[in-house]
């Protein structure tokens, strides 16, 4: 990265931070202004295809070791969501944990891809791409370290990502569309140019790794105006940008389902309110909103798909200034602006 790039990058982020804190008009920030100039708000619906700790019931921890071993309810919800969104003219960008491709049938996943939903790479075992020790890579390697086969963490992570691509292609004939890191990072990959470079070497042009900060949720407590405001304010920090090496970052947009329901023990109405306000902010500013959920969690908390219907309805009501797109389209627009 040259010094000028570094300065521009820092300035933009600093500006957004200042604007969010002071309530200054975000429409004047370079990122938001560019989005407005180039058209509509881009709203993404994403589902990470993995099992979630404490679902379908509290105390269920074994999924930590089998993130990709999806149960039937999770797969059915993923498919049902895809159908509903497709009927409304949208798409869902799914992220697949590769181990699910070891299951007896992968017809559901092939069907999703065939109906036009992009399927991205979420690693083979849901590994932590920033891990620096083998046990920290994933619980599976903590319990069964021999699976690492003596590889160093960086190599193990690289192989795990590649393995997911290979499994998708060999078993389902699917070419992965982009990469989402397991776990979201407040710092995205800003602090790890080596990981950015590895992803580019593996053929990815964009990554979804950031999860901007917002006020923490307290279990069983209805979110206060302050908490909701901080979630909306975090959207300004969750806008896509380009790393110095050229990889595009598309952060996830708070609040995630696991954060709200598993950590916050929220009621569905509270979640709907937070999502509605955040999507409205994105539409108002012609910005990007990257809804992040997990069918293993959302399927239990929102069985009737109310959240995704709400997002589809908001976009439909604002069709002149918002559209549902894939993360590929978001990355494309960021690169075009450049």
What span, in angstroms and rounded, lies between the C-alpha atoms of 282 and 274? 13
What span, in angstroms and rounded, lies between the C-alpha atoms of 139 and 143? 6
- Is 179 within 8 Å of 199 (Cβ atoms)? yes
- Is 262 within 8 Å of 299 (Cβ atoms)? no
- Is 307 within 8 Å of 84 (Cβ atoms)? no
What is the closest distance, in whole angstroms, from the C-beta atom of residue 20 to Zn ion in the complex? 26
Nearer Cβ to Zn ion, position 50 or 290? Answer: 50
Enumerate binding residues for Zn ion (CB under 5 A): 48, 50, 182
Nearer Cβ to Zn ion, position 109 or 283? Answer: 109
What is the closest distance, in whole angstroms, from the C-beta atom of residue 18 to Zn ion in the complex? 32
Count of beta carbons in the 10 Å neighbourhood of residue 131: 16
Cα→Cα distances 282→139, 170, 187, 277, 314, Å? 36, 38, 21, 9, 11
Q: Which residues pair with 43 in a beta bridge?
A: 289, 324
What is the closest distance, in whole angstroms, from the C-beta atom of residue 179 to Zn ion in the complex? 12
CA torsion sign, 277 to 283 to 284 to 289? Answer: positive
Nearer Cβ to Zn ion, position 39 or 183? Answer: 183
What is the closest distance, in whole angstroms, from the C-beta atom of residue 142 to Zn ion in the complex? 17
Nearer Cβ to Zn ion, position 29 or 181? Answer: 181
Phi-psi region of 107 (alpha: psi -120 to 50; beta: other; left: phi over 0): alpha
Phi-psi region of 124 (alpha: psi -120 to 50; beta: other; left: phi over 0): alpha
Q: What three-state secondary structure class fits 135?
A: helix
Element (H, E) at 80: helix 72-87
Nearer Cβ to Zn ion, position 29 or 123? Answer: 123
What is the closest distance, in whole angstroms, from the C-beta atom of residue 308 to Zn ion in the complex? 18
Nearer Cβ to Zn ion, position 126 or 214? Answer: 126
What is the closest distance, in whole angstroms, from the C-beta atom of residue 182 to Zn ion in the complex? 4
Nearer Cβ to Zn ion, position 182 or 223? Answer: 182
SS3 per residue for 257-319: HHHHHHHCCCCHHHHHHHHHHHHHHHHHCCCEEEEEECHHHHHHHCCCCHHHHHHHHHHHHCC
- Is 178 within 8 Å of 207 (Cβ atoms)? yes
What is the closest distance, in whole angstroms, from the C-beta atom of residue 276 to Zn ion in the complex? 24
Nearer Cβ to Zn ion, position 95 or 271? Answer: 95
What is the closest distance, in whole angstroms, from the C-beta atom of residue 44 to Zn ion in the complex? 16
Phi-psi region of 204 (alpha: psi -120 to 50; beta: other; left: phi over 0): beta
Nearer Cβ to Zn ion, position 178 or 182? Answer: 182
What is the closest distance, in whole angstroms, from the C-beta atom of residue 101 to Zn ion in the complex? 16
């Amino acid at each position: 990265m040259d010094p000028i790039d570094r300065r521009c990058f820092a300035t933009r982020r600093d500006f957004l931070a200042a604007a969010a804190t002071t309530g200054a008009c975000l429409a004047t920030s370079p990122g938001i202004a560019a989005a407005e100039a180039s058209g509509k708000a881009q709203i993404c619906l994403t589902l990470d295809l993995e099992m979630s700790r404490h679902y379908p019931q509290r105390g269920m921890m074994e999924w930590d070791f089998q993130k990709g071993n999806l149960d039937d309810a999770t797969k059915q919800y993923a498919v049902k969501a895809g159908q509903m969104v497709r009927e409304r003219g949208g798409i869902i960008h799914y992220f697949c944990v590769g181990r699910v491709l070891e299951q007896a049938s992968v017809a559901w996943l092939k069907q999703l891809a065939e109906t036009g939903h992009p399927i991205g790479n979420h690693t083979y075992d849901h590994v932590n791409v920033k891990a620096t020790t083998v046990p920290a890579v994933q619980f599976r390697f903590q319990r069964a370290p021999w699976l690492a086969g003596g590889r160093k963490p960086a190599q193990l992570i690289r192989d795990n990502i590649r393995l997911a691509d290979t499994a998708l292609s060999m078993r389902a004939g699917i070419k992965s569309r982009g990469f989402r890191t397991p776990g979201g990072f407040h710092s995205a990959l800003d602090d790890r140019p080596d990981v950015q470079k590895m992803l580019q070497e593996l053929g990815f042009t964009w990554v979804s790794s950031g999860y901007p900060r917002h006020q923490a949720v307290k279990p069983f407590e209805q979110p206060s105006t302050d908490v909701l405001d901080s979630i909306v304010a975090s959207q300004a920090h969750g806008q896509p940008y380009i790393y110095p090496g050229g990889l595009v970052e598309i952060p996830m947009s708070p609040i995630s389902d696991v954060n709200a329901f598993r950590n916050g023990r929220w009621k569905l109405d509270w979640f709907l309110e937070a999502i509605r306000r955040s999507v409205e902010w994105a539409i108002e500013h012609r910005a990007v909103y990257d809804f992040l959920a997990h069918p293993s969690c959302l399927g239990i908390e929102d069985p009737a798909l109310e959240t995704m219907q709400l997002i589809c309805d908001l976009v439909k009501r604002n069709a002149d200034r918002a559209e549902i797109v894939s993360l590929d389209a978001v990355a494309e627009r960021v690169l075009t602006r450049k």
